[in-house]
């Protein structure tokens, strides 16, 4: 049986007690269920390759129509749907297994990058309506978040090419949340609910600017 949406967040890392992405996901899920949206959640390890493996296992088990992975971007000032995943692992700090890959591909032989298939600008607008700061991000970094994002996009592209999942094109992408002192957990959850609903109802993204100057 398929579900509407699979949401993922991450376990704590780098000595933190919590991870804001998981706090947003676990608060957002019951709110979505109360609105009639069927939801499953996954708490991913902050470990290169293994985090992505677990998310893909959950996709296989749950058959969602929509997949939104989330992660923490502590230095940002807004909730940021990501535009592009790139095929590189380049760790500034070790992951939770102590691994620090440098200039390693997420997937050997894979394309340089993938675009999100989420309506990222419509999602930004949905969060802003709630007065939660949100913006399009042009890059997801090179840590475990990007690794999960890239592997997710690759898997969904392969599924679409194979015509799997009952002929339904599964859409997916990644959203970064800032630290709790910028956007509190309850506001992050409210914004995530609005973003999920925007993604579920939007086949086409809105044509508004989301670009930045270099």
Q: Is 106 a catalytic residue?
A: no
Query: Could you tell me the CA-to-CA distances from 203 to 32, 120, 127, 198 in Å, in that order?
Result: 19, 11, 18, 9
According to the model, what pLDDT value does residue 203 have? 82
Rounded-to-integer distance, Cα 86 and Cα 91, Å: 14
Of 20, 106, 145, 197, which residue is the catalytic one? Answer: 145
Q: Is 154 a catalytic residue?
A: no
Rounded-to-integer distance, Cα 158 and Cα 160, Å: 5
According to the model, what pLDDT value does residue 138 have? 96
Torsion angle defined by CA atoms of residues 139, 48, 58 and 6, in that order, rounded to the nearest 10 degrees? -30
Of 23, 125, 154, 176, which residue is the catalytic one? Answer: 176
According to the model, what pLDDT value does residue 96 have? 98
Classify 81 as helix, strand or coil. Answer: strand
- 25-44 burial code (b ≥16 CB/10 A, e <16): bebbbebbeeeebebbbbeb
Q: How many other C-beta atoms can be found within 10 angstroms of the C-beta atom of residue 207?
A: 7
According to the model, what pLDDT value does residue 11 have? 98
According to the model, what pLDDT value does residue 167 have? 54
Q: How many other C-beta atoms can be found within 10 angstroms of the C-beta atom of residue 169?
A: 11
The stretches in the chain having pLDDT less than 70 are 161-168, 212-214
Of 23, 82, 125, 197, which residue is the catalytic one? Answer: 82
According to the model, what pLDDT value does residue 178 have? 98
């Amino acid at each position: 049986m398929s579900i509407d949406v699979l949401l993922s967040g991450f376990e704590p890392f780098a000595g933190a007690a919590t991870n804001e992405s998981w706090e947003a996901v676990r608060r957002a899920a019951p709110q979505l269920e109360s609105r009639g949206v069927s939801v499953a959640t996954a708490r991913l390890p902050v470990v290169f390759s293994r985090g992505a493996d677990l998310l893909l296992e959950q996709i296989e088990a749950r058959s969602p129509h929509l997949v939104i992975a989330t992660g923490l971007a502590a230095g940002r000032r807004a909730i940021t749907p990501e535009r592009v995943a790139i095929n590189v692992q380049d760790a500034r700090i070790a992951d939770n297994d102590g691994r620090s890959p440098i200039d390693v591909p997420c997937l050997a032989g894979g394309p340089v990058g993938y675009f999100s298939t989420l309506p990222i600008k419509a999602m930004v607008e949905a969060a802003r309506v709630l007065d939660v700061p949100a913006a399009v991000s042009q890059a997801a970094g090179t840590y475990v978040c990007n690794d999960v994002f890239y592997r997710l996009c690759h898997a969904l592209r392969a599924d679409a090419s194979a015509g799997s999942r009952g002929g339904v094109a599964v859409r997916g992408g990644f959203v970064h949340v800032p630290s709790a002192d910028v956007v509190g957990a309850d506001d992050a959850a409210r914004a995530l609910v609005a973003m999920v609903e925007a993604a579920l109802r939007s086949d086409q993204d809105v044509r508004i600017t989301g670009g930045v100057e270099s």
